[in-house]
Chain A
């Protein structure tokens, strides 16, 4: 363990990371956000999921620094009288869980399809056509359509009950082609190399060659796009929630909170919308900045633009 740490401390990665203020500042902010989101039950001043602690008379209290603000609710309360700070922390936890979960799902689907399509040539054409068509439709469009269809299939009430896993499923299905294309491209490069040839000569099965030999060598680009994909997934979730196809108001994600506050912006209660909005933008921004940095560090030629 100690040796590993020494190795890490001497690595290029850490050196470049500490040299770039954008990288370490956004990493620090991201860590603070993630830790406070997952420690929400411990650090949040109120529990927004417990109806007995919520008083509707507290509704729309402005943040503490304004004239009518109180010390109890530092960032004010929303339209139901929930403490904004606590609700935002819990909401950010939901947003992050859905974002990361969706990326795991799309990475899984995408890696399997990318491997199959790169290694088994007969299936390549049809699988990549599907990916192309889906990409040309834009992932948002697909996610909104699938969300709408699911809501029709399950009915609004049932949809809200299982919203979180459904959102993971929707965003996972909508965005797998990114991974499939990336993995396929590196599989095509890898499959000509000698070690794959050698494995084939030994007589290993196709499945084993794909999983144990080729897959580990295709993972670096997968890691690169994963960072940005998490930001995209969080953004898709917020968009779906905004359209009423996402998390219910009893368990709001950041996107659902923004929607809930939108009506109240006209009566001057800006904090219900703007504060979760700022938090969402900050979260997505630091992930994007980190993603850019990782991409430039690992593989400057992988992407352009």
Chain B
């Protein structure tokens, strides 16, 4: 187990180094730190001086080393558009995205588990067929289209829900702008979280259903039936517990997909989170901000995946031997 954990951590570090190298070479070739610092109105002489002082004439690898050291200290450069350190900007945008992901995951968990179990227990019932049928339709609808349709129905036609922004927020602990505590903020959260969960929900229903159906066929469940246990006990205690393991593993990996879809959802709803910030930084050619988003999100992914893998290794010893799922 120890060797497995070390191996996974080393791999995570290598991946992070590669991501930072890609990020840095984009910044090195296309960003202009002098412009990010002082803007356009500086004479060429002063510009050259600043370049020298910032060490921009050093060899590539020296600069990359400096970038790494700075990044480890939480300094990823300054945004040319916002005129602030990018770490500050990302930190100020993160709560919006995290709250959105949290609400969407809650919807996914609360709906997919009962629906998945139901359609596994009664695969031939009409409701199960409806669930499975609508899940394949759900997979086929792009998330931004779901969002647009929601806006059209509930904002434009019915006028029930606000169509953009986060509404009223309350500042918690001095840095966390939360929309979860005001009625207005919650109203603004409804449609974005439904849109974001719409893509995960069908996947999870199908996953839970197929895992559960497999478990229901296994020997120990047959034995439980033979013992004459109450059906509910067999389903929820014996069978469901064992479907959770693969579901959690896949769930951890799906987090990445969720982050990718926050970019789309936030763009539609003009949600002031990290995703819309990223797309804006691309269109403004704000290299420093764009690169740091890639690095930060990459780091989140790598950490989550490593942790999920290690937990999986703890629970399921067979992966440790082969080192691979």
From 284 to 305 in chain A, residues with beta carbon under 8 angstroms from any chain B beta carbon are: 284-285, 288-289, 292, 304-305
Choose, from A34-42, A57-65, A215-223, A269-277, the stretch at the interface: A269-277
CB <8 Å contact, A266 and B301? no
A231: nearest chain-B partner, CB-CB: B140
* Least distance between B243 CB and chain A CB atoms (Å): 11
A-B contact count (CB 8 A): 108
CB <8 Å contact, A258 and B144? yes
CB <8 Å contact, A268 and B156? yes
Specify which of B136, B163, B259 is in contact with A141 (CB 8 Å cutoff): B259
CB <8 Å contact, B145 and A280? yes
Is A211 an interface residue when CB atoms closer than 8 A count as contact? no
The interface residues of chain B lying within 8 Å CB-to-CB of A245 are 282
CB <8 Å contact, B145 and A138? no
CB <8 Å contact, A305 and B142? no
Is A129 an interface residue when CB atoms closer than 8 A count as contact? yes
A284: nearest chain-B partner, CB-CB: B140
The interface residues of chain A lying within 8 Å CB-to-CB of B207 are 305
* Least distance between B200 CB and chain A CB atoms (Å): 12
Q: Using an 8 Å CB-CB cutoff, how does the interface string of B10-29 with A read, 1 for contact, 0 for none?
A: 01000100000000001000
CB <8 Å contact, B152 and A137? no
Is B248 an interface residue when CB atoms closer than 8 A count as contact? no
* Least distance between A65 CB and chain B CB atoms (Å): 18
Specify which of B145, B206, B283 is in contact with A244 (CB 8 Å cutoff): B283
CB <8 Å contact, B145 and A281? yes
Is B30 an interface residue when CB atoms closer than 8 A count as contact? yes
**For the complex, would chain B's binding face be called helix, strand, loop or mixed by DSSP majority?**
helix
Number of A residues with CB within 8 Å of any CB on chain B: 44
CB <8 Å contact, B267 and A242? yes
A265: nearest chain-B partner, CB-CB: B152
From 121 to 149 in chain A, residues with beta carbon under 8 angstroms from any chain B beta carbon are: 128-129, 132-133, 136-138, 140-141, 144-145, 148-149
* Least distance between A192 CB and chain B CB atoms (Å): 18
The interface residues of chain A lying within 8 Å CB-to-CB of B11 are 129
Is B263 an interface residue when CB atoms closer than 8 A count as contact? yes
* Least distance between B143 CB and chain A CB atoms (Å): 8
The interface residues of chain B lying within 8 Å CB-to-CB of A162 are none
* Least distance between B112 CB and chain A CB atoms (Å): 12
Given contacts A239-B264, A245-B282, contact A141 B256 (CB under 8 A): yes
* 15 pairs of residues in contact across A and B, judged by CB atoms under 8 Å: A129-B11, A136-B256, A144-B263, A152-B287, A239-B264, A242-B267, A244-B282, A265-B156, A266-B163, A270-B156, A281-B141, A288-B140, A289-B136, A304-B214, A305-B209
Q: Which 8 A-B pairs have the closest CB atoms?
A: A140-B260, A141-B260, A285-B140, A305-B210, A138-B256, A138-B257, A284-B140, A148-B282
Which residues of A are in contact with B by a Cβ distance under 8 Å? Answer: 128-129, 132-133, 136-138, 140-141, 144-145, 148-149, 151-153, 156, 231, 235, 238-239, 242-245, 255, 258, 262, 265-266, 268, 270, 273-274, 277, 280-281, 284-285, 288-289, 292, 304-305
